[in-house]
Every structure is written in C-alpha cells, then in structure tokens.
Amino acid sequence: MTQQRVAAPPESPAAKRIPLWKILALPTVALMGVLVYAALALAPEDADQGPAQRIFYIHVPSAWIAFLAFAVVFVASVALLATGKRKWDDRAVASAEVGVVFTTVVMLTGPLWARPVWGVYWEWDPKLTAVFILWLIYMSYLALRSYVPDPSRRARFSAVLGIAGFLDVPIVYLAVRWWRGLHPEAVVLGKGGPQLPASMLQILLFGVFTFTLLYLVLFTLRLHVGRLRSAQEEVQA
C-alpha cells in the first residue's frame, strides 16, 4: 500500500514578510551607539549644568516617545470602542507596555540629572508629579488587564482607562507653564522657538529619531508576541 503525502498549504504573503522589528533592530542598536557617543563626546558641555546635562539627550527623547506611545494607546482605544475589533486592543496594549518602559527611563534619568543640578534626586515639582501620575495610570492599565479574564471585557475596560489616562499627557507638557516649579521650561517647543545651540538641537533631534525607531522595534515585537499568545489561547480554547 503506497503512502501519499498531503501537500501543505502555500504560505501567505504575510507569513513570508520579514517583520519590521527584525529589519530595524540592528540599525537601531547602531544608531543608539552613535547617539551615546554624540551625547558624551560631540555635544558641547552646558556652561551652567556641566556634564550632568548630557543626560538630556536620553531623558527628553524618552519623554517624547512616551507621549507618542500613549497617543497610540488613545487612538487604538477609541478605535476598539468604535469597531470592537481585537486588533486595536492588541495595538493599544503593545504601545502601553512600550510607553511604560520609556516613562520609566524618564523617571530614572530625571533624578540622575536633578541631583547635581538641584541638589536632590526628587522634588514634588508639578511636572514631576504629573509624570509620576502618568506612570501610575498606565501601570494600572497593565494591572487591570491581568485581573479581567474575559478578553472582550478586558479590552473595553482597558480602552476606557487608556483614553482617560491620555488626558494627563497635555498636563505633563503644560505643567511648567501652568504652575511654578523647579523643572525648566521647554527649550525646543517653547513660546520663543528652540532655545538650544544648533549643535545641541541636532543631537537632540537625532536622539528623537533613534528613539522613534526603538519604539517601532519594541512595538512591533510586542505585537508579534501578542499575536502568538492570542493564537495559543484560541487553540487551548
């Protein structure tokens, strides 16, 4: 009796496509190295703050990309509530996790910068307090997801919190204008335009570009892991 093999179905074009995180991973690592070198060796030393100011080239891009990540959470959450499609929940939670990572970097680099400049690691400055609240909101977002087992309810509850939490982002940005505190005002998007020398501004913008690529790597990688997890849950169900 002869055995016949059943031909495997052909792979879809999507399955053959190289994931974006694989394409961007190595260039992003290389650019991160260039950024660190530029911040330490090429950027001029600030006359008032000294070497501690070099943390600026990591601290500020991290904050901007955290805002970007939470904006994606906001848009994806609105889309989830409007359409009910699970793909928007996947994108929201992926961006939320990456946003928490960048916000944590902000909260770690800030005190390292503050200690030699302000004399203390932490001060309950209005902007710092708003950043801490932002971090708590999205940590609560992630904690909520682990306590709601039903996927549909989990997605809806998370979407509401993701939308409400984004309201703190403009508060963080505008805190230095609304309240008096230790944190300096914006030196790039302030009222009078960029307040930095061209060499500092160029390195800062290069840092924002590099951290944007890092966000895309982490976001798409997290989406990939989430899809594998969802497929596993469907098989087990």
- Residue 8 confidence class, pLDDT cut points 50, 70, 90: very low
Taking alpha carbons only, the member of 96, 89, 105 closest to residue 71 is 96
DSSP 19: P
pLDDT band at 36 (very low <50, low <70, confident <90, very high): very high
Q: What's phi and psi for 50, nearest 5 deg?
A: 70, -155
Q: Which H/E stretch holds residue 67?
A: helix 56-83
pLDDT tens, 120-133? 888 888 888 999 99
* pLDDT at residue 173 is higher than 90: no
Going from the C-alpha of 173 to that of each of 24, 51, 126, 140, 224, the distances in angstroms are: 29, 25, 11, 21, 32
- Residue 207 tokens read as 């840092």
Domain limits of the chain? Answer: 55-183+196-223
pLDDT of residue 203 exceeding 50, the answer is: yes
Amino acid at 16: K
Number of CB atoms found within 10 A of residue 136's CB: 13
Do the beta carbons of residue 171 and residue 130 sit within 8 Å? Answer: yes
5-14, 95-104, 183-192: least confident range: 5-14
Token code pair at residue 152: 């549909």
